[in-house]
Amino acid sequence: MQWLLARAPGFQALPEEDRAAIFNFTFLWSLFEAKVMGNFARADLICAKADAWRDAGTLEADQYDAELAYFRERYFANGAFTHHFAHLHLRPADHPDLVRSVLDGSNNDPRDRLLTVLMIVWRFRNNLFHGEKWAYQLQDQLSNFTHANAVLMRLLERHGQLAA
């Protein structure tokens, strides 16, 4: 921590709450990848997992409505995608058309709603772990990581086969 505070650009300026949310995300993602994704996550495998939950009747997409509402507000406002949307850096495998249709409200299919939430969390993971979020020194990320952490914890509780 001391090394990061002294050397990572903008890290010292982050409030402790922001740093904690980002640290928690790294551990929650690691646990999610181990316990839910079989130690390997990729967009197509996340999609397959959402399909399996739908087919098994364990999707429970409405459990993620609060996070979806936050993402919709952040990425789509006043009838248009916000400047934040481009910063997700959605790739073709991330189902960008599906994500757009859910965020703009034209698609409310339960599987697609959950998949959109998962694709956004996936992009947070990639943008953090591959350095994109350092471009703005991790500023203004508390709400993003707080919502992502809530998604990961809920998924782990429902699908992670965690020992009590």
Question: Which pLDDT value is given to residue 137?
Answer: 55
pLDDT tens-digit series, residues 119-164:
999 999 999 888 665 545 567 789 999 999 999 999 999 999 776 6
**Domain residue ranges of the chain, discontinuous segments joined by +:** 33-159
The pTM of the whole model exceeds 0.75: yes
Question: Which pLDDT value is given to residue 136?
Answer: 54
Question: What is the residue-level pLDDT of the chain in tens, covering all 164 positions?
Answer: 899 889 888 888 889 999 899 999 999 999 999 999 999 999 999 999 999 999 999 999 999 999 999 999 999 999 999 999 999 999 999 999 999 999 999 999 999 999 999 999 999 999 988 866 554 556 778 999 999 999 999 999 999 977 66
DSSP 38-94: TT---HHHHHHHHHHHHHHT---GGGGHHHHHHHHHHHEETTEE-HHHHTT---GGG
Question: Which pLDDT value is given to residue 141?
Answer: 86
C-alpha 13/C-alpha 8 separation (Å) is: 10
C-alpha 32/C-alpha 24 separation (Å) is: 12
Specify the amino acid at residue 23: F
C-alpha 116/C-alpha 71 separation (Å) is: 9
Question: Which pLDDT value is given to residue 73?
Answer: 97
Picking from 145, 19, 140, 20, the residue whose alpha carbon sits closest to that of residue 82 is: 140
C-alpha 100/C-alpha 39 separation (Å) is: 28
